[in-house]
């Protein structure tokens, strides 16, 4: 396990705040049954944030035609939609919602070449709201997969997610299961797949990045 390289500053800030609050708690609240539980909560916060920003080692699930989950979380949408930005055709949308306790590092869903990348500033509605896909701050990454078909995924900010990190660049070769970025705090991933893709998940399923096969191309 390692910590996401773009999260060192955030963790340093969290640790600093917790240390200061812990010191003030022990200094100015002389009642042990009040002060020590508060210190334990601050310690738990540091541990939780460290786990939150970790980049876990994962086994890559599936084979060369597989599309795996970009993120840990739960499937909230599986439906047929029209994707106007990159695929410009009807496709299958699979959306995964991440809560505060999921790992928020993101991983490439398929191997291939990045042929489309855009960042869109926007609003911060609840990430599971339908309008979040278009109106929230998000990135769009299109991949021409080694299997042939093109796929697209979006990193969506939520109410508390105020920073999206994406390592995509046009023309870069990518490998399924390598880290592609991180979204800080609650957020969502939308994955757009060809209509003839064999979808392997349904709404309500818990998924794990790299390991859970979302579809077969």
Judgement on whether residues 175 and 82 belong to the same structural domain of the protein? yes
Q: pLDDT value at position 17?
A: 94
- 61 lies in some domain: no
Selected catalytic residue, list 66, 111, 133, 187: 187
Query: Is 187 one of the annotated active-site residues of the chain?
Result: yes
Residue 132's pLDDT band, with cuts at 50, 70 and 90, is low
**Distances, alpha carbon 135 to alpha carbons 16, 68, 75, 121, in Å:** 34, 26, 20, 9
- 60 lies in some domain: no
Average pLDDT for residues 160-182, to the nearest whole number? 84
CA atoms within 13 A on the CB side of 166: 25
- 202 lies in some domain: yes
CATH of the domain at 163: 2.70.70.10
DSSP 3-state of 102? coil
Domain encompassing residue 8? 2-55
- Digit-coded pLDDT (tens) for 32-64: 888 899 999 999 999 888 887 788 888 888 888
Average pLDDT for residues 114-125, to the nearest whole number? 80
Judgement on whether residues 150 and 106 belong to the same structural domain of the protein? yes
- Digit-coded pLDDT (tens) for 57-68: 888 888 889 999
Instruction: State the angle between helix axes of 32-52 and 8-28 in degrees (0 to 180), rounded to the nearest 10.
Output: 180
Q: By the 8 A CB rule, do 112 and 144 touch?
A: yes
Q: How many domains does the chain have?
A: 2
């Amino acid at each position: 396990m390692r910590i996401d390289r773009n999260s060192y500053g955030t963790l340093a800030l969290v640790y600093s705040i917790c240390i200061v609050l812990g010191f003030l708690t022990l200094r100015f609240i002389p009642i042990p049954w009040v002060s020590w539980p508060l210190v334990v909560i601050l310690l738990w916060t540091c541990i939780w944030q460290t786990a939150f920003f970790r980049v876990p080692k994962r086994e890559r699930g599936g084979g060369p035609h597989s599309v795996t989950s970009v993120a840990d979380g739960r499937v909230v949408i599986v439906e047929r939609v029209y994707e106007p930005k990159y695929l410009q055709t009807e496709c299958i949308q699979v959306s995964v919602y991440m809560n505060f306790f999921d790992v928020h590092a993101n991983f490439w869903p398929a191997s291939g070449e990045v042929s489309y990348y855009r960042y869109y500033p926007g609003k911060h509605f609840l990430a599971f709201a339908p309008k979040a896909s278009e109106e929230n701050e998000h990135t769009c990454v299109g991949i021409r997969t080694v299997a042939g078909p093109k796929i697209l995924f979006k990193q969506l900010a939520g109410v508390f997610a105020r920073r999206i990190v994406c390592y995509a660049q046009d023309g870069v070769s990518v490998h399924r299961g390598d880290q592609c970025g991180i979204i800080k705090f609650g957020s969502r991933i939308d994955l757009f797949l060809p209509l003839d893709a064999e979808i392997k998940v349904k709404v309500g399923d818990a998924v794990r990045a790299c390991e859970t096969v979302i579809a077969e191309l």
